[in-house]
Amino acid sequence: MNNVIREQFPILQQEINGHPLVYLDSAATSQKPRVVIEALQHYYERDNANVHRGVHTLGSRATDAYEGAREKVAKFIHARSTQEIIFTRGTTTALNMIASSYARSVCGEGDEIVLTPMEHHSNLIPWQQVAKATGATLKYIALQPDGSVDLAEVEKVVTARTKIVAIGYVSNVMGVVNPVKKIAEIAHRNGAIIVVDGAQSTPHMAVDVQDLDCDFYAFSGHKMCGPTGIGVLYGKKALLEAMEPVEFGGEMIDDVGLYESNWKELPWKFEGGTPIIAGAVGLAAAIDFLEEVGMDNIERHERKLAAYAMDRLSEIEGITLYGPRHREVGLVTFNLAEVHPHDVATVLDASGIAIRAGHHCCQPLMRWLEVNSTARASFYLYNTENDVDRLVSALIQTKEYFGDAT
């Protein structure tokens, strides 16, 4: 990637604390290219209306844009049909929908839900609640010393009692890319379904839900150059048709009586109320942008940048790097000896460098790593080797500063 890409992101053209901004927190949320910002502006200035209701021109335009976005998402992740694409507020909402509607109807006493200790809280707490409500048991796939998943461990944990395997495609802490296609094979062989948290994978690599053969797949727009407040739940049609809605009201109904009602067909039965129209428009623009750059190009760029970052960071004395040495996505998590991650992030911010510090919504994984928190630098298509160099230089200065202070 080059400066032509970077220049398309207006927010990156500023200084923070007197220094050019280096944004290394894309795993939390990505920045937005000008075309996405303009798409949102155009919608609100020219097409703003509610969808599926009015027959006037603005209503038709808005409906076409909203449903056109659904078609674009379906093609982007290779879903069989737009009926398998449900717009949500984000990954968290999508995962909670699966847990509340599907899981609670199929799980019971003695059934098993299989997870890993690396799961984001959004792909862990909903399953805890399902287990409490149904009597199902949570089981965990043991991690390897580098934080990866061994398929032999999956074979041990997934049994004929397993109803659901829920796993993140990519760890938001260690950058591990899990073998979800092979895990799906194991799950299906045992009569279970697989739920994939795609929040950290969809922005960074080509995704084909049919090739993965996942039963459900969830992701967020804001991590892939789109707006906040829009996400997607993909589900195989037969599973979605068997599920009950989790929100009730306008738009998701077919007929309402005083005592009974019935629902619209897929996907609308899961989209009660005024949907996230502008968010869908912005997500469609983000997909266009990413496809123009090329998902394969983005993936190659991030791998190269991650390898460079791992090499450069390894030069710093007293640094601990977490996760596999070889990275397939642009994310590195680390700690500096004797310096709290929050202090690291604060000092870096003074140099115009934005990273994340904390438990990253992965407290069980922090305990597995035997730390309370870590620092994390996450890269995207707009980052460069110069950004890595500035990060390394600032970390060396941070280490020296706290060394002098003690």
Residue 361 annotated to the active site? yes
Kindly report the number of other CB atoms within 10 A of residue 19's CB atom. 14
If DSSP codes are grouped into helix, strand and coil, which group holds residue 324? Answer: coil
> 244-261 b/e with 16+ CB inside 10 Å = b?
ebeeeeebbbeeeeeeee
Cβ partners under 8 Å of residue 294, min gap 6:
none
Q: How far is CA 337 from the centre of its chain?
A: 30
Residue whose pair of structure tokens reads 């999508």 in the numeric block: 94
CB 88 within 8 A of CB 233: yes
CB 356 within 8 A of CB 25: yes
| DSSP per-residue codes, 167-214 | EESB-TTT--B--HHHHHHHHHHTT-EEEEE-TTTTTTS---HHHHT-
Cβ partners under 8 Å of residue 227, min gap 6:
32, 36, 40, 221, 278, 279, 282, 283, 286
Measured CA to CA, the distance from residue 396 to residue 163 in angstroms comes to 49
Cβ partners under 8 Å of residue 182, min gap 6:
151, 154
DSSP letter, residue 223:
T
Active site residue: 107, 214, 225, 361, which one?
Answer: 361
CB-count burial class (<10 Å; 0-12, 13-18, 19+) for 404: exposed
Measured CA to CA, the distance from residue 22 to residue 293 in angstroms comes to 21
CB 301 within 8 A of CB 293: no
Going along 30-178, which residue ranges are E strands? 85-88, 112-115, 137-140, 162-168
Bridge-based pairing of strands 331-336 and 374-378 is antiparallel
Measured CA to CA, the distance from residue 310 to residue 127 in angstroms comes to 34
Q: Which two tokens stand for residue 113?
A: 């839900």
Active site residues: 361
